[in-house]
Structure 1
Amino acid sequence: MRILILGGTAFLSAEIVRQAAAAGHRIACLARGTAGPPPPGAEWIRADRSLGAKAYGGVSGEWDAVIDVARNPAFARDALACLADRAAHWTFVSSCSVYADHSVPGATEDAALLPALDPGVESTAENYGESKAAIEDATLAAAGGRAHLCRAGLIGGPGDGSDRYGYWPARLARDNKPVLVPDIGGHPTQVIDVRDLAGWILLAAERGTTGALSAVGETVPFGQFLEAAREAAGHRGQTVTAGEEWLAQQGVEYWSGPDSLPLWRPPGHDGFMARSNQAAKAAGLVLRPWQETLADTLLDERSRGLDRPRRAGLAPATEDRLVASLAG
């Protein structure tokens, strides 16, 4: 297949390039290259999507598949206007953040969506779900029955720079000091390995799969995940459990960002990491055992440095202070 990837230099899109090249596809990546060049095996069409239609001047010919990971609706609309008529299949990597309600475990693809971000409104981290919803609408309008809306859940695995999954095995491997954990042992976690997601996106393109599908992992109780991470990391210190209300009172953040506890969700998010993946699995999504993702993530975290600055998780000094507060 002749595949154009709008991106291709970081995490998921780079993994798609690697797998597509290994499968013998002809790949081109349209990207600025701020995260580095695409992996070997891809033609690099160096372009800045903020330039609008001008960014696609170097893209020629017809494509068996186009894959877009955009989060900015303006960028996505320009790409669709310039390329949709030349693509036999169009994949938009959307997000489960487009769903309006995260309170119901087991929800399927027919759940209500957030309203699309209005044209002209700036796309920000705060309106991420609305931005993705707007791109879904634009994709369906331009590519119609040729479009696959891949609604990805939390992506983990080697190379993840968000730290929303890797924080825990890395923290447990860093030292044997007490580890502060939220009291959510029975709460579900749901992570899809980046390698499985990339493989599924390519398979869907090869098969011509269309429609909206939630690409999410299997659910694993947080306590089970944490114990497996502790064993894999060889941590022999204490785990100090703190109540959710107390953590919130201390200013600990949910989910991500500085001084957060990843995989801990705000109230009303019982279904956020417990969505159904049955439709995607019926369409060909294959998931490796979650323990394999955990083990490979730990290896990757060790190689990148357990003490490196992180985008999510508690800073060591914050964790020490909170543990001492609980002990006192």
Structure 2
Amino acid sequence: MEDVKILLLGGTVFLGSAIASQAIARGHDLTCLARGSAEVPDGAAFISRDRERDDALSVVSRHRWDSVIDLTRQPGQARRAVRELDATHWVFVSSLNVYRAFDRLEQDEDSPTVEPLGGDVMADMTEYGSAKVACEDAVRARYPSHTIIRSGLIGGAGDWSGRSGYYPWRFANPSGPEVFVPPDLSFPVALIDVEDLAAWLLTCAEQRTVGTFNATGVTTTLSAVLALAQSVAGSSVPAMAVPDDALKEAGISSWMGPSSLPLWIDDPSWRYFATLDTTRARARGLDTRPLEQTLTAALNYEQERSEPRHTGLTSDDEHRLRNLSEA
């Protein structure tokens, strides 16, 4: 593969870090422009810039790039980037949050999306999907040669959110005789390993793949995920499904965040949120590893992390659930 001159905008952690490391491993000429919350790999150039500043891109706007890879969630940043930068191909990392409804299994890329955000900055995460749609629109309007990747839930090494690593970690570090899990074990789940997503992003940049693509792993069930989590943890501690009313009484939420049980949503209209039809992406080279490998990588990260965990139940949460069940 001929060396590709790549500009990576935003993200020196998790997905951004995986993209950067693999780009260098493939022998590409990589420049990373970001605030710099983490170091870039050896061999990559780093430019520290706050993309909220009007002159943030001035130092890279003088160059011609083979591919730009942008991870932003802010429409103003996306609009400025496509207006000021000169590239042969553009790769934008979008999200499954762009879709309007999640009441059917594995929707494809032609499914209706939410309205684009009119402003340059989203007010909060409730506008995340609309903000990503606006970013997509900015890319399409300026760059006919583009790849837009609507990613599903990303897991594996470096998953700071804890969504992919919580259950393996909890099975490996139980606070009692059981591990509490959601009541609906048939809930559909899909995860894509961060390394697989990064690899395919770079392939799209190299091959100048044109189109909009869903990207996530194979759909499975929460029950299957929990069995794998228990297996990679080497644990014999059983899972215990907690009734929905008990979770509500204890103040336990779903999906992510403090005092939560991840990978499950207690709203029927969001039942298929994590699943996507990835037929088009797989036809263009997307390859995803077995989920067991992703959970193993997530567990290794969880066992070594020093920063607070953002998702799951603390030992105090679990003790509170046990006290409620014994009352």
The C-alpha deviation readout for 1:106-155, integer Å capped at 9, x for no partner, is 21110000101112564421211111011111111111x21111100000
1:44 partner amino acid: F
TM-score by length of 1: 0.94
C-alpha separation between the residues in 2 aligned to 1:92 and 1:298? 29
Unaligned runs of 5+ in 2: none
Equivalent position SS for 1:149: strand
- 8 Å Cα contact 2:67/2:87 also seen in 1: yes
1:171 counterpart residue number: 170
Q: What amino acid does structure 2 have at the position aligned with 1:104?
A: R
Q: Does 2:32 correspond to 1:32?
A: no
**Amino acid in the other structure paired with 1:168:** Y
Tell me by how many angstroms 1:185 deviates. Answer: 1.4
Q: Give me the whole-angstrom Cα distance separating, in 2, the residues matched to 1:24 and 1:293.
A: 25
1:75 equivalent to 2:77? Answer yes
Which residue type is aligned with residue 179 of structure 1? V
In structure 2, distance between residues paired with 1:252 and 1:88:
48
8 Å CA contact 1:186, 1:223 repeated in 2: yes
Residues 304 and 121 of structure 1: CA distance in aligned 2, closer, same or farther (over 3 Å): closer
Task: Give 1:48's aligned amino acid.
Answer: D
Matches of 2:289 and 2:182, distance apart in 1: 27
How far apart in 2 are the matches of 1:285 and 1:317?
Answer: 41
SS of structure 2 residue aligned to 1:79: helix
Question: Could you say what secondary structure the match of 1:50 adopts?
Answer: coil
Listed one character per residue, the Cα deviations across residues 46-102 of structure 1 (whole Å, up to 9, x for unaligned) are 2111102x111111321110000001111111111111xx11110110000000011
In the aligned structure 2, how far is the partner of 1:191 from the partner of 1:132? 20
**Match of 1:297?**
298
May I ask how many residue pairs the two structures share in their alignment?
321
**Residue number among 7, 16, 21 corresponding to 2:10 in the alignment:** 7
The answer for the alignment partner of 1:155 in structure 2 is 154
What corresponds to 1:61 in structure 2? 63
Corresponding residue for 2:191? 191
One-letter amino acid of the structure 2 residue matched with residue 203 of structure 1 = T
Query: Within 5 A, what are the aligned runs for 1:139-288?
Result: 139-143=139-143, 145-175=144-174, 177=176, 178-267=178-267, 268-288=269-289
8 Å Cα contact 1:173-1:233 kept in structure 2: yes
CA shift in 2, pair 1:249/1:104, >3 Å: farther
- Against the structure 1 CA distance between its residues 102 and 257, is the aligned structure 2 distance closer, same or farther, given a 3 Å change threshold? same
Residue 19 of structure 1, aligned match among 18, 22, 30: 22
CA distance in structure 2 between the partners assigned to 1:213 and 1:31 by the alignment: 25
Relative to structure 1, the CA distance from residue 63 to residue 120 in structure 2 (aligned partners, 3 Å threshold; closer, same or farther) is closer
CA contact (8 A) 1:176 1:237 kept: no
Distance in structure 2 (CA, Å) of the matches to 1:180 and 1:286 = 32
In structure 2, what is the Cα distance between the partners aligned to 1:205 and 1:49? Answer: 22
Identity of aligned residues (%): 39
Matched to 2:325, the amino acid is L
User: 1:277 offset after TM fit, Å?
Assistant: 1.1
Deviation at 1:304, TM superposition (A): 2.2
Q: Which runs of 5+ in 1 are unaligned?
A: none
> Which secondary structure does the structure 1 equivalent of 2:64 belong to?
coil
C-alpha distance in structure 2 between counterparts of 1:180 and 1:206, whole Å:
44
CA distance in 2 between partners of 1:198 and 1:18 (Å): 9
Structure 2: how far apart are the matches of 1:279 and 1:323?
Answer: 46
